[in-house]
Amino acid sequence: MSAYITVATPMIDRDLLLQALADVGFGEGRIVVSDEPLPLVGYEGSQRAQVANVIVRRQYLSAASNDLGFISTPTGYRLIVSDYDRPRFGATWLVQVSERYRAREAERDARLRAEELERERERKRQLVEAQRSAIEAKAKRLGYSVTVERNQEKVRLVLVRRTY
């Protein structure tokens, strides 16, 4: 029976970890995800003492592999890998996964920033529209004729009132 070792990682976000694993060939269907840690299964089919929240089942690793898993901890996921699988799924592989994790993290952050910017833009658009409609309504009430002109995100209201 192969012994397991654990390796601490700074990867803390489950979705990003799953995306990173998918990027290195372990996509949906090859992974078991559970909030409650589940036991890993050894190459001969028996449950091991080690548990993990994200598990790559052994049949997707190689013929004689044991399950490989990631257990969630407050400081990040820990990789749990058997001695047998360590040459292929040890430090070098973990570097690949971590790189993909960081790339996915950067993508997500850029997306969140873009969404935040868009929300901010929309908030300003609504503010400009609120100002426009308030001024326009008041101007009309006071008898002005109003021309509204837009130049990109700027708005100009020209208020004319003929007195003759």
Partner 1 sequence: MSGRFINIARWISRSRANGPGERFVLWVQGCGLACEGCWNPDTWSFAPRQLLTPDQLLREVDRAGGIEGITLSGGEPFTQAEALVPFVESVRSRGLSVLVFTGFERAELRSRVASRLLALTDVLVAGRYDHTQVAKGLRLLGSQNQRIHFLSGRYGPEDLDDVARCEAHIAPDGVVTWTGFPGEFVNE
Q: In the complex, which residues of this chain contact partner 1 (CB under 8 A)?
A: 124, 127-128, 130-132, 135, 138-139, 142, 144, 152-164
> What's the rounded Cα separation, in Å, for the pair 142 and 138?
6
In the chain the first and final C-alpha atoms are separated, in Å, by 102
**Of residues 64 and 130, the one with the C-beta less far from partner 1:** 130
R_g of the chain computed on alpha carbons: 29
Contact 73, 51 (CB under 8 A): no
**Of residues 112 and 127, the one with the C-beta less far from partner 1:** 127
Q: How far is the CB of 102 from partner 1 (least distance, A)?
A: 35
Q: Which two tokens stand for residue 115?
A: 């969404």
> What's the rounded Cα separation, in Å, for the pair 66 and 86?
10
Q: How far is the CB of 159 from partner 1 (least distance, A)?
A: 5
Q: How far is the CB of 115 from partner 1 (least distance, A)?
A: 19
Q: How far is the CB of 121 from partner 1 (least distance, A)?
A: 9
**Of residues 64 and 134, the one with the C-beta less far from partner 1:** 134
Which residue from 31, 54, 51, 27 is spatially nearest to 41, judged by alpha carbons? Answer: 51
**Of residues 63 and 164, the one with the C-beta less far from partner 1:** 164
